[in-house]
Amino acid sequence: MVRSSASNSNKTVGVLALQGAFASHEAVFESLGVRSLQVRTPEDLGQVDALVLPGGESTTISQLLESSELFEPVKKSVHEGMPVFGTCAGMILLSKKILDGRADQLSFGAIDIEVQRNAYGRQIDSFEADIEVKTFSTPFHAVFIRAPRISKLGSGVTVLAELDKDVVLARQNNVMVASFHPELSRDDRVHQLFLKEI
C-alpha cells in the first residue's frame, strides 16, 4: 500500500451506499484514519463534509437516488461547493451529459464533461493499466471495469491523468471524477488527492 499522511481526521467523508462499490471506498478511508459514513438518506448527507459517488450501475443508482429522496439534496450540496468524488458510475452521475443513458436517467451536471457509458466494453473486457497522474512521482495502477469514457471536456476542467489520450481522472472546482476504480488498487494516493480538497 502506497500511503501518505492524512490531515482530515476531524472530517467525515460520506460514501453513497445505495448500490455499488461503497464498502471498498470506506475501507480506504478507514486505513487512512479518516471517518466515513454510509449515506442512504438526506439526514445522513447532512452529517458529512464531502461525498464519494462509487462505481456500480449508473441507471440503478440514478433511480435509487430519486426513490430515497436523495437526488435533489445531493445536487444542492454539490452545486453549493461540497467536495465530491465520482468513480466510474459516479463520474457518469456527476457529468453534464450522458450520451447513451436511458431517457429517464438523471445526472447532476456538476462537471463540464460528456460521457459514454461502458465505453471500454463489457465486464469481460475489464482491464488494469498504469497511468501517470499529475503530482504523483510514480505511476498509479488503475482498475477499469465497464469503464465510461469522457468524450468531451469543457474548458474549465483540469486533466489529472490520461490513458491513451483518453482523460481518465479530472477535476473542476469541488468535483473530481475517475473513470476507473481507485478503491480496488493497493494505492491510496487518488483518495489522498481528493482529501486535500476537503
> Which residue range(s) make up the domain with 50?
12-195
Name the residue with higher pLDDT: 81 or 21: 81
How far apart CA 164 and CA 109 sit, in angstroms, is 26
Q: Higher pLDDT residue, 124 or 193?
A: 193
Annotated active-site residue 191? The verdict is no
What pLDDT, on a 0 to 100 scale, did the predictor assign at position 111? 98
pLDDT higher than threshold 80 for residue 125: no
Q: In this structure, is residue 158 part of a structural domain?
A: yes
In a domain, 81, yes or no: yes
Percent of the chain beyond pLDDT 90? 78
Cα distances from 169 to residues 23, 44, 60, 63, 148, in angstroms, run 21, 27, 23, 25, 11
Check if 183 is active-site: yes
- Is 169 inside a domain boundary? yes
- Provide the whole-model pTM: 0.91
Report pLDDT for 8: 59
Q: Is residue 32 included in any domain, yes or no?
A: yes
Residue 2 forms part of a structural domain = no
* DSSP assignment string, the chain: -B------TT-EEEEE-SSSSHHHHHHHHHHTT-EEEEE-SHHHHTT-SEEEE-SS-HHHHHHHHHHTT-HHHHHHHHHTT--EEEETHHHHHHEEEETT--TT------EEEEEETTTT-SGGG-EEEEEEETT-SS-EEEEESS--EEEEE-TTPEEEEEETTEEEEEEETTEEEESS-GGGSSB-HHHHHHHTT-
Residue 185's CATH number: 3.40.50.880
> In this structure, is residue 4 part of a structural domain?
no
Q: Which of 132, 183, 191, 197 is catalytic?
A: 183
The values of phi and psi at residue 123, to 5°, are -55, -40
- Predicted pLDDT of residue 99: 86
> Which of 25, 26, 88, 191 is labelled catalytic?
88
Domain-located, residue 122:
yes
In total, how many domains does the chain have? Answer: 1
Question: Choosing from 128, 181, 191, 197, which is the catalytic residue?
Answer: 181
Query: How does residue 106 score in pLDDT terms, banded at 50, 70 and 90?
Result: confident
pLDDT tens digits, one per residue of 1-47: 444 444 556 899 999 999 988 999 999 999 999 999 999 999 999 99
Average the pLDDT over 119-125 and give the result.
Answer: 60
Strands 166-172 and 140-144: unpaired
pLDDT in tens, 133-145: 999 999 999 999 9
Burial of 153 (0-12, 13-18, 19+ CB in 10 A): middle
Whether residue 197 is predicted with pLDDT greater than 80 in this model: the reply is: yes
In a domain, 7, yes or no: no
Rounded CA separation 171/106 (Å): 20
